[in-house]
Structure 1
Amino acid sequence: MQLDLFGPVRAWRGGIEIALGSAQRRVLVAVLALKTNQVVTRSELIDSIWGEKPPASANGSIYTYVSSLRSALDSGRKHGGAGMLTSSGAGYCLRVDAESIDVVRFENLRERARLCQRANDLPGALAALESALSLSRDEPLATLPGPYAATQRERLRELHLEVVERRAKIMLDGGKHQAILTELSPIAADHPMREGLQSLRLLALYRCGRRDEALQLFERLRTKTVDALGIEPGSELTLRYEQIKIDDPALWHRLTNAPRASVATQSSRQASDFKSFVGRSCELLSLRTAIGRLSTGAGTSVWLEGESGIGKSALISAGLSTTTGCTVATAAADELSQQSPLRVLLEGLDVTTNSPDARKSMVAREIRGLSLENRRGLDTAVGLIADLVRTLCREQPLVLVLDDAQWADSASLEVWSRLADECARSPLLLIGVSRRIPDNHRLNDLRHALTASGTLVHLLNPLAEEEVRDLVSGLLETEPGPALLDLVRAAAGNPLFVREIIHALAGNEAPEPAGPGARPVIPRAALDAISRRLGFLSAAASELLRWAALLEQFFAAEDLAVALGRPTAELDDILSEVVALGLVVRARGKLTFKHPIVREALYARTPAAIRLALHRQLAEALSEAGAPVESVAFQLLATPGPVDKWQCEWLAREIYSLASASPLSAMRLLQRVNTSNSIPAALRESFAIATARTKLWLERDLAAGAGMLAKRSKDVGVIAEMRWLVAYSRLVCGSVDQAAKAVKEALHDHATPANWRRMHEALLSRTRVGWWPVCTANPDERTVPVSAQWATSEGSTVDAFWLGQWDACLAELATRLRGGPSLAKHMLGRPMALRRLSGVAAVIAAHRGRPDDARAHLMSVWALAPAGEFGADGTDFLLAANASLAELRGEPELAFGLLSSMLEFEDSTVCPWMPDLVRLAIDLEKHDQAKTATLLCERITGQEITALRCRALLDDDPIAALSAAAQSRQSGNRFAEAQAMEDAASLLAVCGKPAEAAAALHAALNAYDEMGALLDAERAERRVEHGRRRARR
C-alpha cells in the first residue's frame, strides 16, 4: 500500500486508489500515518479532528470512522491475517511500512542529504534534496479541516522551503546561478519575509551580474519588513546586502568552480581599499614587519580586536597590499559555524574533495570518513589540518586570516592555537580577527593563551579627529567644511560609520548642526544603514539598547531598569555584553552610547508615534521611581503632544526643584503649559507666577506676562508680587524711572499687603540711588572651608557643596525661588548670598555635565547685585563654573586662565580651587604657576589639606595624595576627598601600579557617582588611562 499526504490525502493498493471517505476520515488517516506504527489514543484523534469543541457524538464518530476505514484498508487481506488498522487499548495504530508514506520518505531524504553534506558528498546531497522536492511539490494535507491538519500543513511547508534553500545553496556553490535564480524568483516572491530564501536570491542576482537589481530588491524587502513587522531585516539578509554593496570577495567564496583568487588579484583590490585608509600606523608597521619576517622563514601570530566597523579588515588589506611571493587564505566564520566542526578552516584553505590540489582533496576525504562527534575523530581531523598547513608553508610562505573568530567553532580554534605555537619556526603568518567580546566569552581563554605564547594583540581604537578629517577628505577628494565635520563626530571615530554618513549624503551639503542639547541631525539613509549593521545583536541586547536610546545622553542603569520594568541586577549580563561590544561605555559616572549615530539609529528604528507614547510612559515611570526631576523633564520635553493632567500636576509640584537643577528645561515646560488650553483653572495662575519668577531669575523680559497676571488675578498677594517683579526687572535693565513709577502705583494701592509694601518701599529706595549703594559683605557671608579649616555657620550652602550635598544646595535655591516675599527679600536685603548661591548652582550644573543649565545660572547673576567683596559675592564659584565649562569644551588654556586669576586674592577663599589650577598648570607645562598656587596654600593657616593635595600633584607623590584624601574624609569634605583619590589614582597609574590605581579610581568614581559629578568621573577615567599609557612607555 502507498499513502500520499502531499496534496489531497489518498491511499493506493496495487495501483488502485482506495476510497477513504469524508474529510474527517482523511484527517484520521493522516494522524495515524504521521505516527505510523505508534498507538494514537481516541482523545488525541478527537482533538486532531475537532479541536477544543468536539461534538457530543465524537467518541461514536471515531468508532464509525475506524470501522469504515478498516473495511476499506483491509478489504483484500486474508482471513486471520494482521490488519493494517488495529486497536490497542484506548487507541489505534496504523501498521504499514513507513517508506510507503510519502511524508516519511520526504523526511528520510532530507536526513540523507544532511549526512551527504556532512561527508562533503555534494552530488549525493543534491540528488537526495531533488528527490525530496519531487515528493513535496503539492500542498500538504490539502483541504483537510481541523487544528491538527493546519499545524502539520505549516510544518511540512516549512520543511519544503528548507529543502528548497539547501538545494539552492549547493547549486549556487556549484556555479549554477542562472538556473537557481529562475527557480527561486517565484518562490521567494511568495515568501517575502523568509530571509534565508531572500538572501539566496540576492546572492544569485549578484553572481548573475545584476548587482543593482539585488540592492533594489533588498530595499523593497526592507520596506515590507518594516511596514509589516515594525523591525529591520535580520542579520543574515542585512549582511548579504552589505556584502553586495561593497562587492565583498566572500560572495564568491564557496563557489566550487570559481577561479581561486591569486595574490596579485587580491592586491589590486587591497590597494584600492588602501587609498582611503588612514591612521593605524603602529598596527600597520607591525603587520608589515610580520610579513617581512616570512621571507626569512620565520612566522608570527597576530590578533586584531575591535568593535564592528572599526577597520580591522581595512587594516589587513592595507598590510597585505604589497605582499608578494606568498599565499593568502581567508577563513571567515559566521553565526552558524559552531554547528559544523572545522568547516571554517576547511573552506578557507579550500580543502574539498574536488580541490585541484591532490593533498587537499585527500585530507578532505580522510576527514569525511571520520566521526567528528567524538574526541578521537576530532583530534585526528585537527592533526590532519595542522599537518596540511605545515606542508603548504614549506612550499611557499602562507598568510592565514581567521575573520570573525568570535563565531568560530572550538575545533577550528584548537587548530589555530596549535599553529600559533609553531608559527615562529615556519613561514606562517596567522592573523586572527574578532569583535570585542564580553569577559565570559569562550574566546577569551584562547586569546589569553595566545598572548602568553607571544601573539601580538592589537586593540583597534577609534580614529582621532585629525584622522577622521583625513578619511573624509579622501572619500570626498576635497576638504570637508565645518558642518560636515560636526556631523561625522556622531560616528565617534568609527571609519565604517563615517563612510555610511558620507555615502548617505550622496554629494549633498551636510545639515546645519543641531542646537545645544538637541539630537544630531543625521541623514535617514545613514541611520538605516547603521541600524542594519546592528543585526548581530542578541534580542535582549537589542531591546535594551532601543530603550536606552529613549533616555538622556548619559543615563543610569537604574533608569534603564525602570524603562524595561526589570530589576537592575537582571540587566548586568546584558549591559556587560553591549559594553564589551563597544556600543555602550561608562562615562561621567553613568552609561552612554559610544557612537551618537548608533543611538540615533536605534531611536529612529522605533516609529515616531510609538516613541512619543514611550517617552510619556517613561516620564511617569521615572517619576514614580524617584528619578531626578531633570530626567523626568527630558522625557516630557521629548513628547510634543498635548499637556495632560499628570504632566500639569507633576510640573506644579516640581517646578521650583526643576528650575534650580535645570532652569532651561523648567522654562521650556512652563512655556508649553502656558500655551496649552487644557490647563486646569486652579493651576493656571500658579504656572504664571512660576513663569514670572523663573524669567526674572534667567533675566528674561517678564513685564508683559507679569503685568497681565497682576491685572487678571484676584489675589492681592499675587498682584503685589507681580508688580514688584515688573519694577525690579525694569530697574535691573536700567529703566529707573519706569521702575519707580511701578513701585509708586503699588504703594498707592491700599490693597497691597504689608509684607509686600515693605518690599516695594525697599525697592523704591534703590531707585533713588539708581541701583544698590556700594555693597560690603557681612562677616558671616565670607566663603571659607568646612570643618576646622573652614569656620562657617553650620548648614551654609558653601559647606553643603564641599560636603558633597549638592542636592541640598539646589533645594535651597528652589526654596528661595518658591517663596515670593523671601525671594524679594534676598534679592534686596542679602543679594550677595543669592549671587553666591547662583554661583554654587552653576558649578554643580557644570560638574554634572549640564553646560546649558550652568550658563543659565551664570546669566542669572546679572539680575542680581553687582559684585561685592571677593568670596562673599560668590565670584570664586562663578570663575570656577566658567573654568569647568571651558574644560568641558576642551579649552584647558581658558580654564587655566580663569582659575589663575584667583591668585591675586591671597586668602583662604581661593585655596579650595588651587588643586584644579595645579592640575591644569602641570598638564599645560606651566610649572611656575603650579608652584605659586602650592606655596599660596602652604602659607595660609588652616589650609594644610589643600596644600598637601597641591604638593602631591607638583611632586608626583601618590602617597601624599592618598593622605590628603584620608584627611579630607576625616574633615567631612567629600568632594575634596574624591578629587584627591582621583589624583592618587592618576599618579599610581604613572608609577606602574595598576591594581592600586584601579582601587583609588574606584573610590573616586563611587564618590562622584553619589554627587552626580559626571564631568569629574569622565576626567578621572581619562587621567588614569593617560597615566597607564605613560607607564607603558
Structure 2
Amino acid sequence: MRAWRDGSELVLGSARRTAVLCVLALHTGQRVSRDQLVNAVWGEDAPPSANGNIYTYVSTLRQMLEPARSRWAAGRLFSSGGGMYQLHLPPDSVDVLRFESLRETARRQRSAGHTDAELAAVATALRLWRGEALAGVPGPFAERQRLRLAELRLATAERYAELLTGSGRLDEAAHLLRELTPDRPHRENLRAGLAAAPPETGRPASRSVVTGGGTRPGGVPSEPAGGPGTPPGGVPAAGPGSRTRTGTAPLLGRDAVLHRLRRAVTEVAAGRGGDILVEGPAGIGKTALLTAALRTAPNGCRVGWAVGDEVARDVPLGTLSDCVESALGAGPDHPTVEALVAASVSPERPDDARRTGRADAEGTDRADADAAERAVELVRRAAAEGPLVLVVDDLHWADPTTLRAWAMLGGQASELPLLLVAAVRSGSGPAAGRSAAEIVTLGPLDSGSAGALVRAVAPQPPEPQELARIIDDADGHPEYLRQLALTASDPFPAAGLVAAVGAHLAPYPEDTRQVLRAVAFLSAYEVRSPGTQPAGCTMAEVAAATDHHLDDLARMLAPVRAAGILAPGDRLRFRHRVVVRALCGSTPAALRVTLCRRYAERLAAAGTAPERVVALTLAGEVPVDDCFGGWLADHVERVAEAAPQIAVAALAHAHAQHALAPARRLTLTAWLARLLLRADRNAAAEAGWVAARTADPELAGEMRWIAAHSHERRGDFETAAEIAHTALRERRIGPQWIDRLRALLGRIRPSLPGNPTQPHLSRSGLVGEGRPDLP
C-alpha cells in the first residue's frame, strides 16, 4: 500500500492506520461509519480502545492528506461528520478501481468483437500490479480484498494469455503461463493453455488437448498415468483428466453411486454389460464422479472416453468415434475407427447433406439410421474382442447419429461385455437418455458431506456460523461450496464463483439470462429466518419488471426449471442462493442501479405490494431521489406493517442521501426513528437529528421523547434525564410530549445517582426549580 500527493510519496505510518486508509480508498465517494472501520481493521476482536484509535488514525490521515487545511475548514479531499468518514478521490486515483474499470472496458470490447482493444485494456490492467495486493495490511477487510483481487488478477492474466495466443504471440503467452502455473498447479485453464503453448528450449512439447467449455466441480485428484481408457502406460486423449477441475479435496457424499459404477465395471469384465446414465444439474459433480469411479479398470477391460461438443454436433458419429478410438488405443487409422468414420458417409449423402441442407428430412433420417446401424455392428465386434467400457460426458451435446447409435447399443449392452456410461445435464431433453436401462440422479450433498468439503477446501477452518451460511447458500452444490469456501469471508462474489455461475447459465439464450438476472434482483433483498427457504418472487412480479407476457415468460423459463436452476414451486427462486449473489454482484454498479430503478418503477405502476418495490431498490442500491422519496413517504406505513425490517433498511438508506430535499429527508428520518424504537432498537441518534432540525413542536416533542426513551431502555438514565430536562426547559414541544417526558422522569428518578428524592444533578438553571408546574 503506497500513496502519493503532488508527486511526493506519503509516509503512511502504522499498519492499522494504513488499513483505515485502505478501507476509505476502496470506498471512495462513499460514507463509511466508525463501526465499519472497527470491523474492517479488527473484526470481532476489537479492543475497548478501538473507537478512540479510529479517531486518532482519521485525524492523522486528514492532516497527512490535506496539510494546508485549517482545523475547522470543510474538507475537500477528506470529510467527516456524525461518526461517518469519506474520501473524495477520482476513481483513477486508486489502482484497484482503475484495474476493475479496465477489466470492464475489456469486457465491453470483447462483447463488441474488438479483440485488439480488449488486448490493450487487459495489458494495461496487468501493468498496474506490483506484487500482492495490500501486502502486510492487517484486518479482515484487507484479507478479503487480497483473496478477491488475486482471483481477478489470475483471471485477467489467463485472458491475456488467450488473447496473446490468438494474435500469434505464442512465446509471450507461454512465458506468462509458465510464470502463473507454479502458483496454481490445479487451475485447469492454465494447464490447458500451457498444453497448447510452444515448448521452451530444452523442454519436451506437451500434447495439445482440445476440450469443451464449462466449469467442473472440484474434489478429484489429478488423473494419474494409467487412468481410464489408458492402454498400458498412457493418458487418454479425451479422458477425464482434460475435463475435470482438480483439487485437493476428496469426492464426498457419493459412496453408494461410486460403489454401483465400480461394480458395473467388475461385471462387464466378467462378461455382463449394462447401460447407465448419470444425470444432474451443471456443476453437481458428474464428471468428478465418473473420474473417481472409472479411474482404474480390471485387467483386460478397455475404457474409452469422449466428451459431447456443442460446436462439433454436425459431425456424424464424431463423439462415438472419439470414444472408441480412445478405448482401442490407436490412431485414426485403426480399422475399427476408420470404419466408423466411413459409416458416417452414405451413398445417399456423399457431401454431408446434414450441413449443406441439400437432402430432404426423410433422406437424412434414413442415412443417419444406416450409419448408426453400421456403427453398432462395429462396436459389437470390438466388444467381442474383449470387455469394453464406453464413457461419454455431456452426452446431450453429442451429434444426433451418435445419440441414435448409443440408444441402439443400450438395448443390446446386457448381451455383451459392453458397459455404456453417460452423463447428461438435467433438463437436456429425452433424446440423450431415452435408452438408459439404469438412471442415476445426482442430487445435492447432504449437510455433513457439504461441511466436510468446505473444511477440506477453505484456506482457514471456517467458524460454525460461517460454515452454516456457506452450506445454506450453496444448498449442497459441490462447485458452489468449493468457490464459497475459497473466499468465505468476502462480501463480493469471487471471480471463480461468477465464472462458474456464468458457465452454468451460458447454454440459455440472452433473453432468458436477462430474465434470470431480474429474478435474482427481485430475490436479493428478503428477510428470512435461518434454515428457511428464500421466498423468491412471483411470475407476475417478473412479468411486470421485465415487461414480458406471462406466457412468454413461462416458455423462456421452462428449460431453466427442468435443469434444476430454479427450484420447483409456484414462486420463482433459485435452487442455490449463491446464484443470486453472483448475478447481482457481477452486475456493474451503474447498470445495477439503472435496471433496479426501471424494475421498481414498473412494479409500482403495476400495483405490486410496496414492500416488494422497496426491497428491489435496496437490492440494487438505488439512490433515493425526491421522486422515489415522495413515493416512499406515501407508502412507508404500509411497508412498515408488512415488512418492518425492509422499511428500516430503506429509511436508513434514505437518511444517508444528502441530495434529498431537506423536508423529505426529515420526514423519512422521523419514520426511521419511530420504527427503530418499535423494533426495540436504539433510535436516539436519528430522533435527535430530526429534533434539532424541525420547527414543528409536535414532531420535536415526539423525537425528544423517542431519544430519551431509547436511552431509558438501554439503562442510560442520566442521558435520558438530560434530554428530557433540556426539552422541557426549551418549551418548544407540544403539551402531550411534556406530559410523557414528565412521566419518563418520574420513572427513572429512583435510578439516578444520589438521593432518589433529590438526585445530585446540577439544578442550577433546570426548568422547574421552584416552579410547581414543571419538574
Normalising by structure 1, we get a TM-score of 0.45
- Indicate yes or no: 2:549 matched with 1:567: yes
* Residue 325 (structure 2) aligns with: 350
CA contact (8 A) 1:335 1:407 kept: yes
CA RMSD of aligned residues (A): 5.0
Work out the CA distance in 2 between the residues paired with 1:396 and 1:273. 34
| Partner secondary structure for residue 450 of structure 1 | coil
In the alignment, which residue of structure 1 is the partner of 2:135?
A: none
CA distance in 2, matches of 1:751, 1:499: 61
Tell me if 1:692 matches 2:698: no
Aligned residues: 535
Match of 1:603 in 2: 584
2:407 aligned with 1:433 = no
Q: Does 1:262 align with 2:245?
A: no
Matched, 1:581 2:563: yes
Change in CA separation of 1:488 and 1:694 when aligned onto 2, cut-off 3 Å: closer
Assess, with a 3 A threshold, how the Cα gap between structure 1 residues 417 and 365 changes in structure 2: closer, same or farther. Answer: closer
Partner of 1:368: 345
Corresponding residue of 1:394: 384
Per-residue CA deviation, residues 616-641 of structure 1 (Å, 9 max, x unaligned), is 33232222222232322223334556
Supply the distance in 2 between the matched residues of 1:687 and 1:479 (Cα, whole angstroms).
Answer: 43
Corresponding residue of 2:302: 327
Q: Report the secondary structure of 1:330's partner residue.
A: strand
Contact 1:558 1:568 (C-alpha < 8 Å) held by counterparts? yes
SS at match of 2:445: coil
Deviation at 1:581, TM superposition (A): 2.0
Q: 1:460 Cα shift?
A: 0.3
Classify 1:719/1:544 alpha carbon distance in 2 versus 1 (closer, same or farther; 3 Å). closer
Partner of 1:54: none
Q: Counterparts of 1:217 and 1:315 in 2: how far apart (Å)? A: 21
C-alpha distance in structure 2 between counterparts of 1:275 and 1:762, whole Å: 64
Letter in 2 for 1:493: G
The change in CA–CA distance for 1:269 and 1:685 in structure 2 (over 3 A counts) is: closer
SS of alignment partner, residue 435 of structure 2: helix
Q: Cα gap change, 1:691/1:604 in structure 2, threshold over 3 Å: closer, same or farther?
A: closer
Partner Cα separation in structure 1 for residue 248 and residue 417 of structure 2: 25
State the Cα distance separating 1:428 from its structure 2 match. Answer: 0.9
1:708: Cα distance to partner? 6.1
1:917-928, aligned counterparts within 5 Å? Answer: none
The code of the aligned residue for 1:394 comes to A
| From 427, 448, 457, the counterpart of 2:439 | 457
Aligned match of 1:293 = 267
Call closer, same or farther: CA 1:194–1:561 in 2, change over 3 Å. farther
Partner of 1:867 in structure 2?
A: none
Q: From the superposition, tell whether residues 583 and 269 of structure 1 become closer, same or farther in structure 2 (CA, over 3 Å).
A: closer
Cα 1:696/1:548, change in 2 over 3 Å: same
User: Residues 603 and 406 (structure 1 numbering): CA distance in 2 closer, same or farther, change over 3 Å?
Assistant: same
Secondary structure of the residue that 2:453 maps to in structure 1?
A: helix
What does residue range 190-205 of structure 1 map to in structure 2 within 5 Å?
198=166
Q: What amino acid is the match of 1:666?
A: A
Output aligned runs, 1:900-979, within 5 Å: none
In structure 2, relative to structure 1, the CA distance for the partners of 1:638 and 1:679 (3 Å cut) is: same
1:462-501 to 2 correspondences below 5 Å? 462-475=444-457, 482=464, 485=467, 488-489=470-471, 490-501=473-484
1:211 to partner: Cα distance? 10
Whole-Å separation in 2 of the counterparts to 1:560 and 1:470: 37
- Counterpart in 1 of 2:258? 284
Aligned to 1:1007: none
CA distance in 2, matches of 1:654, 1:276: 53
Tell me the CA shift for residue 197 of structure 1. Answer: 9.5
Q: Give the letter aligned to residue 498 of structure 2.
A: L
Cα separation, partners in 2 of 1:738 and 1:301, compared to 1, 3 Å: closer
Normalising by structure 2, report the TM-score.
0.58
Query: Which one has a bigger Cα radius of gyration?
Result: 1
Indicate yes or no: 2:406 matched with 1:416.
Answer: yes
Which of structures 1 and 2 has the larger relative contact order (alpha carbons within 8 angstroms, sep 6+)?
2
Paired residue type of 2:516: L
Output the amino acid matched with 2:600. Answer: A
Once the two structures are TM-superposed, the CA of residue 418 in structure 1 deviates from its matched residue by 1.5
Match of 1:542 among 507, 510, 513: 513
Q: Which runs of 5+ in 1 are unaligned?
A: 1-190, 221-235, 250-258, 513-519, 772-1033
Q: How do 1:464-863 and structure 2 match up within 5 A?
A: 464-475=446-457, 482=464, 485=467, 488-489=470-471, 490-501=473-484, 510-511=488-489, 520-532=491-503, 534-553=505-524, 554-586=536-568, 590-638=571-619, 640=621, 642-703=623-684, 705-706=686-687, 709-710=690-691, 712-725=693-706, 729=710, 732=713, 757=736, 761=739
| 1:820 corresponding residue in structure 2 | none
Q: Distance in 1 between matches of 2:163 and 2:390?
A: 31
Output the CA distance in 2 between the equivalents of 1:219 and 1:367.
Answer: 32
The answer to whether the 8 A contact 2:391-2:420 is kept is: yes
Percent of aligned pairs with the same residue? 27
2-structure distance, mates of 1:199, 1:308: 32
Residue type matched to 1:262 in 2? P
- The separation in 1 between residues aligned to 2:304 and 2:191, in whole angstroms, is 32
Distance 1:567 1:218, change over 3 A: farther
> SS of the counterpart of 2:439?
strand
- Give the alignment partner of residue 278 of structure 2, picking from 300, 304, 310: 304
Does the C-alpha gap of structure 1 residues 710 and 412 become closer, same or farther in structure 2, counting only changes over 3 Å?
closer
User: 2:256 and 2:230 mapped to 1: Cα distance?
Assistant: 29
* Cα separation, partners in 2 of 1:427 and 1:383, compared to 1, 3 Å: same
* CA apart distance, 1:481: 5.4
Could you tell me which residue of structure 2 aligns to residue 916 of structure 1?
A: none
Amino acid at match of 1:282: A
Kindly indicate whether the alpha-carbon contact (under 8 Å) linking 2:270 and 2:417 is maintained by their aligned counterparts in 1.
yes
CA distance in 1, matches of 2:229, 2:261: 24
